[in-house]
Amino acid sequence: MKYLTWLLKAAIFFTLFAFALNNQQSVAVYFFFGTVWKAPLVMVVLAAFASGLALGVLVMMPRWWRKRQATRRHLAGHSEHADSTDWLAPPTDLPNIPRHGL
């Protein structure tokens, strides 16, 4: 299984590497007010992916903070049981499902 995962990662890497080698021609991206950015196509695609990733993280950040604060408040409300670690134990009513990962 470890070798299959490694092979999949290598295939993805070489596919992206071939994409980068095949798209080295220069393109122009026109912004507002006559601003032009000239760069290789692969850099434009990489910049679009990175900016989309950053925007997604920024949009999700308030939700993550609210969930983290709610968890802290919940744990602080149970501080009278600070010496007990029963809440750390896994639930016993769940079926025993084997976990398989890639």
In a domain, 91, yes or no: no
Residue 71 covered by a domain: no
Asked if residue 30 belongs to a domain, the reply is yes
Instruction: Report pTM.
Output: 0.53
Residues 39, 44: Cα–Cα separation, whole Å: 7
What are the tens digits of pLDDT across the range 68-84?
Answer: 888 888 888 765 555 55
In a domain, 59, yes or no: yes
Contacts of 49 (CB under 8 A, 6+ apart): none
Residue 28 has what DSSP assignment?
Answer: E
Q: Residue 54: is its pLDDT beyond 90?
A: yes
* Domain tally, the chain: 1
DSSP, collapsed to helix, strand or coil, labels residue 29 as strand
- Assigned domain for 87 exists: no
8-12, 21-25, 36-40, 53-57: range with lowest mean pLDDT = 21-25
Which residue is it, tokens 């995962």?
5
Name the nearest CA neighbour of 46 among 27, 65, 71: 27
Residues of the chain above pLDDT 90, percent: 18
Say what the pLDDT of residue 76 is. 80
Pairwise pLDDT comparison (20 vs 86), residue with the higher score: 20
Q: In the prediction, which pLDDT does 25 show? A: 87
Which domain does 46 fall in, by range?
A: 18-65
Q: Which two tokens stand for residue 86?
A: 């029963």
CA 41 vs CA 9, 29, 32, 53, 65: distances in Å: 23, 10, 20, 18, 36
